[in-house]
A = this chain, B = another copy of it.
Amino acid sequence: MTLAYPMSDPRTARPATALTQAFERHGGRQAFARDEEIYAQDQEAELLYRVVRGVVRTSRLTVDGRRQVGDFYYPGDLFGLEPGPDHRFAAEALTDCEVQLVRRSAVRAFAGDAELDRAILEATRQEMERLQDHVVMLGRKSARERVACFLMAMAERQADGQVELPMSRQDMADYLGLTIETVSRMLTQLQGESIVEFPSTRRFQIRKWTALEALAA
């Protein structure tokens, strides 16, 4: 998918502790249980968040109950930084997780914290790129390609070897603009072609990188 930073992730590139400290300086920390809501859709956006432990999912529900998942956020990721007055997507704890938070007004007031400013700008950049990629994927890619794309992205986040999927098939489907059945079919198809291998439903390994990459293009 993106891979703007081939090997060195921007999160690990600079000492994680520096940013952590910057956050601690200005805000608090809170734990959320699996499936707990961190903020609601259309809620006023007064805080800024950073994942410490666990995985967070953003999603939007239409009036008639259709759901679109915005993205998944891993430790080190900032989220909830839409510059608008309120959150268009809700955020929920996908797994039990711990989150740091900063009051937005604090960010503006203590504008001296260059570390924090830089991180927010960088996160905004990343957020926009993800959104743009998402648009292209949903607008112009087949189910097979979308699923391949998703697995690629997941693999890039984690170290090589076994990749853990913290989200359900429903979450994947709602992210990809598909149904769970289609996602499932594509997964078994890719597995049938030995491109990926699923020892269990929430865990996989890429067997043919080039083949998967070609699909995800």
Contact = CB atoms under 8 A, between A and B. Distances in A.
A62 interface: yes
A86 to B, nearest CB: 9
Among A62, A66, A136, A176, the one with the most B-chain Cβ atoms within 10 Å of its Cβ is: A136
A217 B129 contact: no
A177 B138 contact: yes
A125 B84 contact: yes
A131 interface: yes
Interface in A164-197: 174, 176-177
A140 B60 CA distance: 10
A127 B139 CA distance: 18
B138 A139 contact: yes
Contacts of A138: 135, 138-139, 177
A161 interface: no
A214 B141 CA distance: 28
Given A136-B60, A138-B138, A82 B129 contact: yes
Contact of A62 (B70, B82, B136): B136
Interface in A18-38: none
Interface string A1-30: 000100000000000000000000000000
A8 to B, nearest CB: 15
B129 A132 contact: no
Interface in A52-85: 60, 62-64, 66-68, 70, 82-84
Nearest to A140: B66
Nearest to A85: B4
Contact of A83 (B63, B67, B121): B121
Among A64, A82, A135, the one with the most B-chain Cβ atoms within 10 Å of its Cβ is: A135
Given A138-B138, A139-B177, 7 more contacts: A60-B132, A82-B125, A82-B129, A84-B128, A128-B128, A131-B132, A135-B135
